[in-house]
Structure 1
Amino acid sequence: MKNVLMWLESAAESCPDKLAVADEEVALSFSELEDGARSIGSALAAQIAPGDAVALYLEKSAPALAAMLGAVYAGGFYSLIDTRQPKVRVEAIVAALSPAVVITDGGHRMQADEMLAGTGCTTVLIEELASHPIDAEALAAARSATLDIDPLYANFTSGSTGTPKGVLVSHRSVIDFIPVFCSTLGIGEDDVIANQAPFDFDVSVKDIYSMLYAHASMHIIPRAYFSAPVRLMDFLADRRITTLIWAVSALCFVSIMNGFEYRLPEKISKVMFSGEVMPPKQLRVWQTWLPDAVYVNLYGPTEITCNCTYHVVDRIFADDEAIPMGKPFDNERVFLLDEDDGRIAEPGRIGEICVSGTALGLGYLGDAGRTAQAFTQNPLNTRWLETIYRTGDLGRLDEQGDLVYVSRKDHQIKHLGHRIELGDIEAGATGVDGVERACCLYDGRRKRLLLYYVGPIGKAPLAEQLRTVLPSFMVPNSIRRIDAMPLTKNGKIDRDALAAL
């Protein structure tokens, strides 16, 4: 197998009338999704060459998914651009992509034209592409010109320089990962997946391609529901959702807002989370209300195709315990390197998490310099070419040999002569009764630890509690209560927004 479209075609053949994907307005069966993608692909095949980028300036939806797969049918790769992003970021993404075409819809045409003014991009309407006759000959020619190592999608992450990084991922990486992911975690044809993640965020890759591979069904949750807990809980229950593959913040939204007290989505049997450290306090709420569900902590940066490790939660964790990230998925190698590029094998020692295997991405689009910095030769292997990805994350092994997340390398600071992990301060704070979420920043210029938290406890009682659980040099210099944590569009705590408060 060398193309992910074979999963769609298999589903359309074996269960053509089964629901594949639904949003608020449109529901597509597998045969309808295939036909829509083939129509769009036929139209695009006359406009792009194999390996070209196709940008989608669309809201995530069932038709948007058909357009993404249509770009693949035409021999290209896709990249969805969030319509809520500022013009300067859209311009940076388009400059990196150099898309052959940009697909938008009638509702976003004027906005797209404004955003793309001066870029030289050709804009086409999805409504017109979707009505194009299927050209089997053109699609066959495009398929024969592509290899499994060719790009499937590009997702843009925030770069440290302020310029977005386009992470390219191949067909082969997804083809290798998704079957292992589904078989390991028991995702099958009877599952109903609730898509929370944006389509330009790699968590959605698991939703989309698990649905295609396993012949499952996927329901797209409206973005607004993550500020409306009643509507969210009704959605999960009414659509008989079985599987959640969500960002930690989305799960915390349900538990903090007491969503289960309103309505219990009893069909949920699998809850997977990633992106940030899951506070045990919030996970316990889920475990209390849905005790028979399987809970899985997933880890992996965008650069390695979704996830490289997993841990099936097999007990209740205390507030001061770290939920392990677990062990690697099959056919992935995950290990720790110390500051001298030596391998760390013993429990407790902290090192940089590194990954190798076919799940590694193709690097950063049009950025050989940053690619060379992050995708390097394995220093432990001097005999043949073995590329590893240096994640920039720090981790350690526990006594069971499971990987445990510590922090980002750039979240490890030196304060009052001590090396401190900001995550340790956050863990201490979230362990205090009355703290729902916490984030710690370091003001390097003023040498101050700044703690922000959400919860009913007052600042003075919290400070008093922290002095009983943290060494004096780790007690924050400033504590500030806020109504809610600012989040990035991918659902992670927005540290830049906190620093600007």
Structure 2
Amino acid sequence: MHEFLLAAAALAPGNPAVVEYAGRGDVRTVTYRQLAERADEYAGALAEAGVGVGDCVLLESDTSSSAIAMLAACSSLGAVFVPVSPETPAPRLRWIARTTEPVLFLRTHDTGPERIPPEASGTGRFGPYGVELDRAPAPREDRGWRRGVETDPAYVIFTSGTTGRPKGVVMSHRAVVSFYRGMAACGIVGGSDRVATTSPLQFDFSLLDIGLALGSGAAVVPVPRTLLRWPRRFAAVLRETGATQVNGVPSIWRQTLRREPELLSGLDRVRGVLFCGEEFPSHELRRLQELLPGARMINCYGSTESMAASFAEVPRPLPEDLERLSIGTAHAGAELMIVDGDGRPVDEPGVPGELLLRGPTLFTGYWNDPRATEAALVPDPVNPRTGQRVLRTGDLAHRDEHGRFYFRGRADSQVQIRGNRVELGEIEHRLRDFPGVAGAAAVVVEEPDTDPLLAAFVLPEPGERGPDSTEVIAFCRTVLPEYMVPQRLRVVSELPITENGKVDRGELAARCRGGRPTTER
């Protein structure tokens, strides 16, 4: 992976690799030569500490030039990069450390109070001035005979698991580089671009951004996480760093679109927007197209288990009657297919089923969880005799007559309400059809000794007080079966989001517990 990311250091060593915003009027540039030198320096310090092939290095950091250099350093040694955010709750951090047993736990010099997991063998800090170890790794068996190979783990990303414990997604060097090459074939950015990344380092979307930029000879522009929710500051970062491409979940645009949309019309250098992770409400996407008339917009689809699977250009202008955005077709070197409930391939247009992904970009497995791995990586339904495995994405989709795919929601968001199967995504889609509704989220609330409660939250359009909840419920009764009509509906000023920028359904469900079915503002 490090060879792919730092290839431009030999071709254009003086070009910007990372452009960092340190405050108004303070923008710092790290060239490809400097980034490669820093990675070499880090690798030397880690090697001297005994870090080698297969060792886990737990890194608490936001995206930065130093974090990217540390990623490359770990790659060059065959070590496994395990990123966590400075915002990661302490119990989750301790669980990840206990599970991965890192030989080193490293933090950036500017992170907050000490949160050193006792499970980490060695501890230290790193930054532009090198690596400083507070405690060296404990002596271990000498494995100097091991040599790194492309099927070795490059990194482990921990995502939320259905069991309540994080799941560690193990990605090999071969899978990551195969994905980067497939993405590069889409021609999203060029060598003169500056790619603003807004996702936390522990979210694989940030690694997509890094590979997209560095693999194209462009520059990475990390947007400080603390500035994302402040429209003026967010716009200032994009403007002062000269960002030409902005990547992130759709919600990064919401505050600016709602409060100060005129700031976006001044970003005349932005010529590309890539979004992923959740549905982009059509009225917000349409407004963003109006404010950034020269920007090409890309709908990225995929999961952590393959980083991503497809990149589809959004039509401009967005059709008024558009119901769903297409996710296109799989990127070069991969294939998407649909299967029915019995695992048989579905070829007919318009027929929904579960999406499977085939190709060299698939994850190796879930960290120390063979049962979950076996459930996700299944035999190829077209030719199972080969022994080839494909990824069950857990997503529902259909294909149109041109072969383009359309995302239909999560298979696990199909819930049972009074014996009926309910797709939460369909409820949300209908709620957004109501005049004045900018966003919506549906959740199922389960409490002891009561039937599951179907609840919904709606977000009003900018500048609007919001619709009357009883009118929204009445509208739902005209477009949805009775069992799919929310029993509780709230109009809210914001939808809570997770640290990865997705709607926090657990938080929404918690807000509904302990009350009677009702409609309320």
Q: TM-score, normalised by structure 1?
A: 0.91
Q: In the aligned structure 2, how far is the partner of 1:6 from the partner of 1:81? A: 23
Offset, 1:320: 6.1
Offset, 1:453: 1.2
Name the SS for the 2:85 alignment partner: coil
Name the SS for the 2:35 alignment partner: helix
Q: In the aligned structure 2, how far is the partner of 1:143 from the partner of 1:484? A: 55
Offset, 1:301: 0.6
What do the CA deviations read for 1:273-330 (whole angstroms, capped 9, x no partner)?
Answer: 11011211111011112233211111111001x2112221124144760111111111
User: Residue 53 of structure 2 aligns with which residue?
Assistant: 50
Which residue among 55, 74, 77 is the counterpart of 1:74?
77
User: Residue 460 of structure 1 aligns with which residue?
Assistant: 470
Which residue among 486, 490, 493 is the counterpart of 1:476?
486
Name the SS for the 1:45 alignment partner: helix
What do the CA deviations read for 1:53-107 (whole angstroms, capped 9, x no partner)?
Answer: 1111223322122222221222212111112122211111112221111112344
Alignment check: 8 A CA contact 2:170 2:364 kept: yes
291-300 vs 334-343, which deviates more?
Answer: 291-300
Offset, 1:250: 1.5
Partner letter of residue 322 of structure 1? R
Question: Could you tell me the percent identity over the aligned residues?
Answer: 29
Offset, 1:8: 4.2
Partner letter of residue 21 of structure 1? V
Alignment check: 8 A CA contact 1:105 1:125 kept: yes
Indicate how the Cα distance of structure 1 residues 194 and 127 shifts in structure 2: closer, same or farther if over 3 A, else same.
closer
User: Residue 135 of structure 1 aligns with which residue?
Assistant: none
Partner letter of residue 150 of structure 1? D
Offset, 1:128: 9.7
Offset, 1:108: 4.0
Partner letter of residue 313 of structure 1? V
Which residue among 4, 10, 24 is the counterpart of 1:13?
10
Gap regions ≥5 residues in structure 2: 23-27, 133-142, 461-465, 512-521
Q: In the aligned structure 2, how far is the partner of 1:82 from the partner of 1:182? A: 27
Which residue among 8, 13, 21 is the counterpart of 1:24?
21
Offset, 1:426: 0.5
Partner letter of residue 275 of structure 2? F
Name the SS for the 1:92 alignment partner: helix
Offset, 1:246: 1.1
Q: TM-score, normalised by structure 2?
A: 0.88
Alignment check: 8 A CA contact 1:75 1:143 kept: no
Gap regions ≥5 residues in structure 1: 133-140
Offset, 1:458: 2.5
Partner letter of residue 101 of structure 2? S
Q: In the aligned structure 2, how far is the partner of 1:202 from the partner of 1:275? A: 11
- Residue 485, structure 1, aligned to residue 495, structure 2: yes
Which residue among 105, 111, 114 is the counterpart of 1:111?
114
Alignment check: 8 A CA contact 2:97 2:120 kept: no
User: Residue 499 of structure 1 aligns with which residue?
Assistant: 509
The number of aligned residues is 486
Name the SS for the 1:200 alignment partner: coil
Within-5 A mapping of 1:125-140 = 125-127=125-127, 130=130
Q: In the aligned structure 1, how far is the partner of 2:418 from the partner of 2:113? A: 54
Within-5 A mapping of 1:29-428 = 29-46=31-48, 47-108=50-111, 111-113=114-116, 116-117=117-118, 119-127=119-127, 130=130, 145-261=147-263, 263-304=265-306, 306-315=307-316, 316-318=318-320, 321-416=323-418, 418-428=420-430
Offset, 1:382: 2.8
Partner letter of residue 384 of structure 2? T
What do the CA deviations read for 1:190-217 (whole angstroms, capped 9, x no partner)?
Answer: 1110010111111111211122211101
Partner letter of residue 379 of structure 1? P
337-346 vs 376-385, which deviates more?
Answer: 376-385
Offset, 1:355: 0.8
Offset, 1:418: 4.0
Q: In the aligned structure 1, how far is the partner of 2:434 from the partner of 2:194? A: 36
Q: In the aligned structure 2, how far is the partner of 1:459 from the partner of 1:344? A: 40
Alignment check: 8 A CA contact 1:52 1:100 kept: yes
Name the SS for the 1:227 alignment partner: coil
Q: In the aligned structure 2, how far is the partner of 1:229 from the partner of 1:209? A: 27
Q: In the aligned structure 2, how far is the partner of 1:297 from the partner of 1:278? A: 9
Partner letter of residue 308 of structure 2? N
Name the SS for the 1:487 alignment partner: coil
Indicate how the Cα distance of structure 1 residues 257 and 110 shifts in structure 2: closer, same or farther if over 3 A, else same.
closer
User: Residue 136 of structure 1 aligns with which residue?
Assistant: none
User: Residue 137 of structure 1 aligns with which residue?
Assistant: none
What do the CA deviations read for 1:114-135 (whole angstroms, capped 9, x no partner)?
Answer: xx13x14310221598269xxx
User: Residue 514 of structure 2 aligns with which residue?
Assistant: none
- Structure having the higher helix fraction is 1
User: Residue 448 of structure 1 aligns with which residue?
Assistant: 453
Offset, 1:348: 2.2
Name the SS for the 2:490 alignment partner: strand
Name the SS for the 1:462 alignment partner: helix
Alignment check: 8 A CA contact 1:233 1:260 kept: no
417-426 vs 354-363, which deviates more?
Answer: 417-426
Q: In the aligned structure 1, how far is the partner of 2:63 from the partner of 2:353? A: 38
Offset, 1:160: 0.7
Q: In the aligned structure 2, how far is the partner of 1:19 from the partner of 1:63? A: 14
Q: In the aligned structure 1, how far is the partner of 2:504 from the partner of 2:323? A: 24
Alignment check: 8 A CA contact 1:233 1:263 kept: no
Offset, 1:186: 3.1
Alignment check: 8 A CA contact 1:42 1:74 kept: no
RMSD across aligned C-alpha pairs, in angstroms?
2.3
Q: In the aligned structure 2, how far is the partner of 1:21 from the partner of 1:391? A: 33
Partner letter of residue 469 of structure 1? V
Offset, 1:498: 0.4
Q: In the aligned structure 2, how far is the partner of 1:110 from the partner of 1:234? A: 29
Indicate how the Cα distance of structure 1 residues 93 and 450 shifts in structure 2: closer, same or farther if over 3 A, else same.
same
Partner letter of residue 108 of structure 2? D
Q: In the aligned structure 2, how far is the partner of 1:6 from the partner of 1:120? A: 28
